Amino acid sequence: MKQILLLAAALTSATLSFSQSQSIDFENISIAQDTFRDGRDSTLIFTSDDFEFPVLYDTSFNYWASGFAMSTMRDTSDGTFQNLYIAYVSDIGSENIYTTANLGSGDISFRKTTFSFEQWRLWNSLEIANTTYAYKSMLNGDAFAKKFGGASGNDPDYFFVRIYGTSISQVDSIDFYLADFRFEDNNEDYIIDDWTEVNLSALPVNATEISFKLFSSDTGAFGINTPLFFSLDNIEYSFVGGFNDVNRNEFEAHSDGTRIQLNDRSKATFSVYDVQGRLIHSFQDFSGSSFNIEPKNQLLIITRETAEGVSVKKLVH
């Protein structure tokens, strides 16, 4: 796990500290090169950075039924169902441990079972890729699933993953397309063919469970025909610490895309930070209207400090 020095942001009675990035990268998993672990050794949970990644191997019928397998496999030539564990990426020759997710039995998730309000977690990003099996199935079609785009190339096919973040009080999600053939110009159609970074900043603060659900245009009587697999690596998050004096009752603040509306007329000191912990703006005794922050399309953390303590609000502006 990569750990980078904390940046400190000082308030008058409480201190918030921001870590730039920490990573769930699976490098602690014991696994040889060009192999995989899918639970057939009786493993039920893999743990990386104190997060639990469940896996289920059906010993009755001897197959990987669901969950997260760990892989160092590198053969991207075999696109059949006998080759389930390999990410279809350009740097497959490197010695890298990653996880491949199997959603054949439904949605799956990884989670952290314990956490502390002394530090709040902000989800930053993850790297995702199609598996070789899914990629070549969508590219060429196979006995179970269609070629994306169809014979003419005009079929508006798609394959996307919905990523949910769940905290104690909130659930939110983002969508990422692993393949998209809905464009009017067929030259814009694509199937993801390398590790691709997905921004997770819209997920709830302190989400302790990240879940995945797959959607496809290619469905039949038994559900989705497209192979229900993808690979993950380098799941990044940051900590905001120093909340021992924080009042977690949120004040009213939201962004309309142009300005930040702050409906609070109390005598307070307000501070606005970016996700790296840099102080962007600070002011006192706010009159209750609105203010502007540049640039747009960024995650902000707003703190409100009074004699009673500190409240915190995260928003995307």
In this prediction the pTM is 0.76
- Residue 279 pairs in a beta bridge with 273
Ordered domains of the chain (ranges, CATH): 15-241 (2.60.120.1350), 253-316 (2.60.40.3110)
- Residue 79 pairs in a beta bridge with none
Coil, strand, or helix at residue 135? Answer: helix
Which residues lie closer than 8 Å to 144 by C-beta, 6 or more apart? 81, 137, 225, 227
Phi-psi region of 206 (alpha: psi -120 to 50; beta: other; left: phi over 0): left
Residue identified by tokens 């059949």 is: 80
- Chain segment 210-266, per-residue pLDDT in tens: 999 999 999 999 999 999 999 999 999 987 655 444 444 457 777 777 788 776 666
Coil, strand, or helix at residue 116? Answer: coil
Which residue ranges in the chain fall short of pLDDT 70?
Answer: 1-20, 93, 114-119, 240-250, 263-266, 275-277, 285-289, 297, 309-310
Are the beta carbons of 270 and 282 closer than 8 angstroms? yes
Number of Cβ within 10 Å of residue 210's Cβ equals: 23
Are the beta carbons of 86 and 71 closer than 8 angstroms? yes
* pLDDT the model gives residue 169: 73
d(Cα 83, Cα 76) in Å, to the nearest integer? Answer: 9
Number of Cβ within 10 Å of residue 196's Cβ equals: 15
Q: What is the mean pLDDT of the chain?
A: 84
One-letter amino acid identity for 93? G
d(Cα 160, Cα 181) in Å, to the nearest integer? Answer: 11
Q: How far is CA 197 from the centre of its chain?
A: 9
